[in-house]
Amino acid sequence: MNSLLKVLQDGRFHSGQELGSALGISRSAVWKHLQRLEASLGIQLHKVPGRGYRLAEPISLLDREGLELEFEQLGWALRVLENTDSTNAEALRLLSSGAPPPFVVLAETQTSGRGRRGREWVSPPAQNLYYTLALTITGGPQRLSGLSLVVGLAVMHALRQLGVERAGVKWPNDIYVDGKKIAGILLELTGDPADVCHVVIGVGINVNMIADAVEIGQAWTSMRVESGNLVDRNELARVLSRSLQHYLNRHTDEGFSGLRAEWESNNIWRGQRCCLSAGSQHIKGLVLGVDEQGALRLMVDGQESRFSGGELSLRLDHDS
């Protein structure tokens, strides 16, 4: 089925005969494949008698062979899947089965993509980047300090390199453009954080989704919306990987304290009144920034308080 998408991904019309010849199947088999494509992936096709078939919108498919050389140079193994429940879940399964990190899992689509706090991560096929990097972490909890914020910097700079110049970071692990979310990060750990553990770094980036095409429960944007052009997801995967390696190496050498000033200079909500949610508890205050470990510094009722943890959520206080 991926072979059929490779021919159609340019968004142009292709006759049934052309598709059949390219894939070595009959025209009737092409029709059955196209029906399965629409049913299983929800991809919309236009069919015009005398012209053939085309996708409603061009897409950018992942090119495993083209990416492998780049990842070999980084020293990371690569797995590219047509679909999976979640790239993070797949990475955790691979670690449990003994696969040695570092490695990256990419997928064309996710059936159960997830964000922080158990939220769904909308994952339409061949539209966005669903990316997980698995690493071994040694040296104790200090090696994990501020890690999600450092990953946020890496994602932000990858987006800027590819033309999304107004991307900025939001505590603890989101990337926004002009008040709209464009990317998110989910870190999960296995093993003993005090000794040797594995961390899977999940990155979801809205790449080629367009407005009104997908229902998401918050303001969002995509690289295509911001640039007006179809984005090559393979190039994004390359740029993101190089950026991640650079910032992760700096984090190893300098700790978060060495990257704190850079993170603060790109903190989009510094000086804003926000509401911090922790379960049923809601705390309102003024965002001061982050400390040397990456904890949120919030001015609450005239006193500075600090917060950290994976189940916290920060939103603008629209009542202020």
Domain that holds residue 15: 2-55
Residue 31 has pLDDT above 60, yes or no: yes
The answer to whether 170 is annotated as binding is no
pLDDT given for residue 267 in this prediction: 96
> Binning pLDDT at 50, 70 and 90, where does residue 200 land?
very high
Catalytic machinery residues = 116, 181, 315
**In this structure, how many other beta carbons lie within 10 angstroms of the beta carbon of residue 88?**
26
Q: Give pLDDT tens digits for 125-180.
A: 778 999 999 999 987 777 888 999 999 999 999 999 999 999 999 999 899 999 99
The answer on 190 and 87 residing in a single domain is yes
Between CA 222 and CA 206 the distance in angstroms is 5
The answer on 238 and 284 residing in a single domain is no
- Mean pLDDT, range 54-83, rounded to an integer: 90
7's enclosing H/E stretch is helix 2-8
Between CA 30 and CA 237 the distance in angstroms is 31
Number of domains in the chain: 3
Between CA 191 and CA 205 the distance in angstroms is 27
Residue 319 has pLDDT above 90, yes or no: no
The answer on 309 and 167 residing in a single domain is no
The answer to whether 110 is annotated as binding is yes
| The Cα angle at residue 256 between residues 251 and 260, in degrees rounded to 5 | 125
Interhelix angle for 27-41 vs 16-23, to 10°? 90
The answer on 227 and 289 residing in a single domain is no
Which of 56, 116, 36, 67 shows the shortest CA–CA distance to 235? 67
The answer to whether 293 is annotated as binding is no
The answer on 95 and 157 residing in a single domain is yes
The answer on 303 and 234 residing in a single domain is no
Assign residue 141 the CATH number of its domain: 3.30.930.10
The answer on 23 and 133 residing in a single domain is no
> Where are the strands (E) in the chain, listed by range?
45-48, 52-55, 77-84, 103-110, 129-138, 167-170, 174-177, 180-191, 196-205, 273-278, 281-290, 296-300, 303-307, 312-316
The overall pTM is greater than 0.75: yes
Between CA 265 and CA 270 the distance in angstroms is 9
The answer to whether 87 is annotated as binding is yes
Between CA 35 and CA 39 the distance in angstroms is 6
For the chain, give percent helix, strand, coil, nearest 5: 35, 30, 35
Q: Are 317 and 275 in contact (CB under 8 A)?
A: yes
- Mean pLDDT, range 225-230, rounded to an integer: 92
The answer to whether 115 is annotated as binding is yes
pLDDT given for residue 286 in this prediction: 95
> Binning pLDDT at 50, 70 and 90, where does residue 38 land?
confident
